[in-house]
Amino acid sequence: MVGVMSGIRVVEVAAWTYVPVAGAILTEWGADVLKIEHPESGDPQRGLVTSGLIPAGAVNHMFELPNRGKRSVALDLKSEQGRELLMKLVETADVFLTNFRPSARKKLGIDVEDVRAHNDKIIYVRGSAAGQSGPESERGGYDMSSFWSRSGAADNVSPEALGYPVNMPGPAFGDVLGGLTIAGAISSALFHRERTGEATVVDSSLLALGAWAMGPTIAGAHAFNLEGYPKTTPDKAPNPLVNTYGTKDGRHITIVMLESDRFWPELMTVLESPELITDPRFDSHAKRAQNNVECVAAIAAGFARKTLEEWKIALKDINGVWAPVQRPREMVTDPQVEANSYIADLEDSAGTAFKLVSAPVQFDEQPGDVRRAPDHGEHTDEVLQELGLTMDEILEYKISGAVL
């Protein structure tokens, strides 16, 4: 493993998944990330166990995901002593990472000017629901609201016949993408500081991420003055070679063969329908588009002859792009996922085994250093001793309630 962020320290005052997952990614790359949590409540994400969103007695995977590899330091930032200790940590750090709203940052004394007063070279990073400016800068948000719904993504993927917008593909779908974006921005800011000596303020939001993800669609909707973007169903795909088809056993395969004239003969051969290669209805891209409903039906009939497992063997050596429509759990045993170490095996602090997907970037062909998330306040004593405090001094802080 190459610790490209080795020697970089991040002080994180953030909760839930969006923003904390940026710190988690940096730990995989070698950074020392200090997660600041309240001594009593901690990150509210820890409470998902008691709310029933985590199986009883199981690993809190929703906390592990955005907090892997960090050190937890429990400080009461509302107390003068807790804030003083935070600023001592700030003095040792390269990055300050937060998703607290402007009013909360001001009230706690952790806004840009407060932090920069103790370390003028620190990179200050803010993640929010909808940005730092405008009438909604104080409003909170989650990825399902700010990223998925507001951006137009939910509307665009929902078939008209359904009658309602579909939910995100899974929990924290936008959060983890946003965290990756922030981690990349932090890397750029550190590079800029290395080159120029200038420390920047970095901003990102779930709304900005949603707009970026929907960028081509937003631009197209504006260019063509479309109130709603054109939608199709699989039986009417404009390009039958870019579509999803059902298999004999009720599973599905997606094909993305954009150069359809190039791949049409190959596809028809593997579907055991060679007579369709020269069928006058389908023998060119233009004709397949013109007769798309008939063409889709012909391809669908071919895929319906075999099971998904049979198609995995039959399609293995073709040149056209295809993929099975997998269920999330199937990713764990996907041979390509295993070959590239995309999922790590871990144990939580109680010794319970679990798996986490690694950050989707590798250096020198090695996966990142994926480690478990910390227990609440697990590293408070250790980190404060690194600041030079004695155990007697730390005990005084514990008695006052400033630390856990």
Distance CA 287, CA 295 (A): 9
Amino acid at the residue 289? A
pLDDT given for residue 58 in this prediction: 82
Model confidence at 57, in pLDDT bands (50, 70, 90)? Answer: confident
Asked if the model's pLDDT at residue 79 lies above 70, the reply is yes
| Mean pLDDT (whole number) for 43-57 | 77
Q: DSSP string covering 330-360, please? A: GGGG-HHHHHTT-EEEEE-TT--EEEEEPPS
Contact in structure between 48 and 16 (CB atoms under 8 Å): no
Q: How confident is the model at residue 172 (pLDDT cuts 50, 70, 90)?
A: very high
Q: Which of 47-61, 215-229, 262-276 has the highest mean pLDDT?
A: 262-276
Mean pLDDT of 94-110: 98
User: pLDDT higher for 116 or 162?
Assistant: 116
pLDDT above 90: percentage of residues in the chain? 93
Which pLDDT score, from 0 to 100, does residue 161 have?
87
Determine which helix (DSSP H) or strand (DSSP E) holds 230, and give its type and residue range.
Answer: none
Q: Is the pLDDT of residue 56 over 80?
A: no
- Name beta bridge partners: 128: 205
Amino acid at 31: A
Distance CA(126)–CA(185), nearest Å, equals 11
User: What pLDDT does 48 receive?
Assistant: 76
Spatial distance between the Cα atoms of 122 and 200, rounded to a whole number of angstroms? 8
* C-alpha span between 367 and 340 (Å, rounded): 8
Q: Which two tokens stand for residue 399?
A: 């008695």
Q: Does position 55 have pLDDT exceeding 80, yes or no?
A: no
pLDDT in tens, 360-398: 999 999 999 999 999 999 999 999 999 999 999 999 999
- Res. 160 pLDDT band, cuts 50 70 90: confident
> Are the beta carbons of 62 and 43 closer than 8 angstroms?
no
Query: Which residue, 202, 22, 230, 54, is CA-closest to 124?
Result: 202
Lowest-confidence segment of 40-54, 57-71, 341-355 by average pLDDT: 40-54
pLDDT at 230 over 90: no
| Integer-rounded Cα radius of gyration of the chain | 26
Q: What pTM, to 2 d.p., does this model score?
A: 0.94
What is the pLDDT averaged over residues 236-250?
97
Spatial separation of the C-alpha atoms in residues 286 and 197, rounded to whole Å:
57
User: How high does pLDDT run on average in the chain?
Assistant: 96
Please give the Cα distance from 239 to 241 (Å, whole number): 5
Nearest to 14 by CA among 117, 171, 122, 125: 125
Does residue 130 surpass a pLDDT of 70?
yes
The predicted pLDDT at position 51 comes to 65
- The pLDDT tens digits of the residues spanning 25-44 come to 999 999 999 999 999 999 99
User: CA 84, CA 88: separation in Å to the nearest integer?
Assistant: 6
Residue 54's pLDDT is what? 77
Look at residue 359 in the predicted model and tell me its pLDDT: 96
Confirm if 355 and 345 have CB atoms less than 8 A apart.
yes
Q: What is the 3-state secondary structure (H, E, C) of 24-71?
A: HHHHHCCCEEEEEECCCCCCHHHHHCCCCCCCCCCCCHHHHHHHCCCE
Q: Please give the pLDDT value at position 50.
A: 61
26: amino acid identity, one letter? L
- pLDDT exceeds 70 at position 141: yes
DSSP characters over 200-218 = -EEEEEHHHHHHHHTHHHH
Count of other CB atoms within 10 angstroms of residue 336: 8
Q: How confident is the model at residue 117 (pLDDT cuts 50, 70, 90)?
A: very high
What pLDDT was estimated at residue 49? 67
Beta-bridged to residue 346, according to DSSP, are 354
- Tell me if 223 sits within 8 A of 215, measured CB to CB: no
